[in-house]
Amino acid sequence: MKKITNRVVTRHIMTILMTGAVTFASSTVFAKDAPEAADANLVTDAKILDDQNSTGDVLTYGMGLGGQRYSPMTMINKETVKDLVPAWAFSYGDEKQRGQEAQPIVHNGKIFVTASYSRLFAIDARTGEELWQYEHRLPDGIMPCCDVVNRGAAVYDNLVIFGTLDAQLIAIDQDTGKRVWREKVGDYKAGYSMTAAPNIVKGMVITGVAGGEFGIVGKVEARDAKTGKLIWSRPTIEGHMGTLNGEDNGITGEEANKTWPGDMWKTGGGATWLGGTYDAESDLIYYGTGNGSPWNAHTRPGDNLYTASTLAIDPDTGKIVWHYQTTPHDGWDYDGVNELIPFDYEKDGQVIKAGGKADRNGFFYVLNRENGKLLNAFKTVTKVGWADHVDLETGRPVETGLRPGNPADAPEGETKGASVFAAPSFLGAKNWMPMAYNPDTKLFYVPLNEWAMDLWNEPITYKKGAAYLGAGFTVKLLYEDYIGALRAIDPVTGEWKWEYKNQAPLWGGVMTTAGGLVFTGTPEGYLKAFDANTGEELWKFQTGSGVVGCPVTWEMDGEQYVAVPSGWGGAVPLWGGEVAKRIRTLNQGGMLWVFKLHKSDAAPATTAMK
């Protein structure tokens, strides 16, 4: 077993940066002449709220603000999906081929898709021709934890908005590719970064931050989407002051150290690195928060609010309306950032406005989305070592006592605490990759991984801009025949209705449709379609690199299209231990693939290359 110290982790991160992260000389735009958008083509709040129901575009991350990733379209269905063929493919070009985890946005005949190294492309949705590209200037010393990924953009008015690896928020004119405004969200030298897609709620662009492995303090912020002006900021760690229109807006948790010892709250983590969802019925924004900092939980006894939690936030004020903590006093890096998806929970003749969340810690949670009360909780993977179950009365996990040892208790001459074998690994039963919910089948389709880890703690002190872990780890295999598992889960019973097992980890998003289909990709390069009721594999296509992005679908010119980015990368090849060795032969890439149903009289498929 290789010992991984804080110094080794820091060196590993810096190696990633030096070998992969290119510093651009300037922010570069390549654009074609384009007419100004007509008012009818502007993206409005009403259009965004209706995104899940509309079929002619994809305006939000999650194919709707609730993130169900469900389309009402049926042209591509169980019978016709066999005829799905490429319409065109677009190459992101040059050497910057790292993890492509984005979800495309489709509007007004254009596809907006982000790529690794904080790039944004505008592509003609009919032909695959590049309209413009924006390459953000990245400074030396950026510190992304888990590859140089970007998960997507937001659109509003005539703007397309995305975050960058140096923690800036950029708004671009949809037609010209020219920058309209830019705002700094955090200090990249302290470890702040941005990888998540923003959301638009009530004319505001809602964002989080990454950087929990560097001791930053998580926050959720709202800005005027047209101007970038900050409206409110809500920190996620107890004791930090929020703001509303430039004025103090209350201390998170009311006390600085109620669930934190000493000054640990000042560098407490709780990063909001995945982004959030919104429910118009309850008028609440839902954001998950990451691990407490450092990983060595012996330095910070207590629940450490609001780490590893779901926060329900008032979009008008930034106030926390309710919270639910999935992993109190997290000592395994079981981030709670995963999305809460609003849905109707039907049980015993009642319909409750609920939210479903598949957590990294191995449990699935069903919460009343209006007040945060726990309705149900059950396991999503075969092995969960840290807790036996979740008490439905108290809402708290019933722990088994499996925690890494305190370095202070180590024998003389030793620096690290006792190691434990824990499942799931810190990469999670479900990591960032978004699940989908189908209101027709009433099932969640959850991309999961079965793996474990050796985990131990080490002494650690905070230093600005340095990795802040105090832990070492080695990811381990649990099963020889599979790692990834796509499971169709009933949120009422907890039953796994069906599962698809994959040799490599599943690391991409899921989409489901009224046509009875479930789409997701594999690191081996396939985009696949499954029967939503039975799990039968109905179609697959080899894209040439691992699919770790998010598929979307829309209607254009009377035809239904499906698009997905392809490009292997992300956290697994960087931190995967024995798992990374198994998949070391997978090729990197960077392309957007677009598909439609084959027609005998259709023009031949084209490939648009840079």
DSSP letters along 464-515, please? TTS----EEEEEEES-SS-SEEEEEE-TTT--EEEEEEESSPP-S-EEEETT
- How far out from the chain centre does Cα 294 lie? 21
DSSP state of 58: B
Q: Look-up: residue for tokens 């389709």?
A: 445
Share of the chain above pLDDT 70, in %: 92
pLDDT for 577 equals 79
**291 near 307, Cβ under 8 Å?**
yes
pLDDT for 39 equals 84
The dihedral through the CA atoms of 484, 490, 491, 492 has a sign that is: negative
How confident is the prediction for the chain on average, in pLDDT? 91
Give the model confidence (pLDDT) of 539-571 as tens digits: 999 999 999 999 999 999 999 999 999 999 988
CA separation for the pair 178, 170 (Å, rounded): 10
| Average pLDDT for 361-366 | 98
| Average pLDDT for 520-539 | 98
| Average pLDDT for 220-242 | 97
SS3 letters across 505-532: CCCCCEEEECCCEEEEECCCCEEEEEEC
**163 near 136, Cβ under 8 Å?**
no
Which one of 330, 333, 335, 359 is the catalytic residue?
Answer: 333
Structure confidence at residue 574 as a pLDDT band (50, 70, 90) = confident
pLDDT for 145 equals 83
Share of the chain above pLDDT 90, in %: 84
Is 333 an annotated catalytic residue? yes
pLDDT for 19 equals 37
* Amino acid code (one letter) for 474: T
Structure confidence at residue 96 as a pLDDT band (50, 70, 90) = confident
Of 89-103, 430-444, 486-500, minimum mean pLDDT range: 89-103
Read off the tokens for 336.
């709670």
Domain boundaries 6-597, corresponding CATH code: 2.140.10.10
* Residue 567: closest CA among 87, 88, 101: 101
**22 near 138, Cβ under 8 Å?**
yes
SS3 letters across 325-371: ECCCCCCCCCCCCCCCEEEEEEECCEEEEEEEEECCCCEEEEEECCC
* Amino acid code (one letter) for 477: L
Give the model confidence (pLDDT) of 2-56 as tens digits: 333 333 344 344 333 333 333 333 344 444 444 444 588 999 999 999 999 999 9
Q: What is the dihedral of CA 402, 404, 405, 410, to 10 degrees?
A: 140
pLDDT for 154 equals 98
Structure confidence at residue 572 as a pLDDT band (50, 70, 90) = confident
pLDDT for 38 equals 53
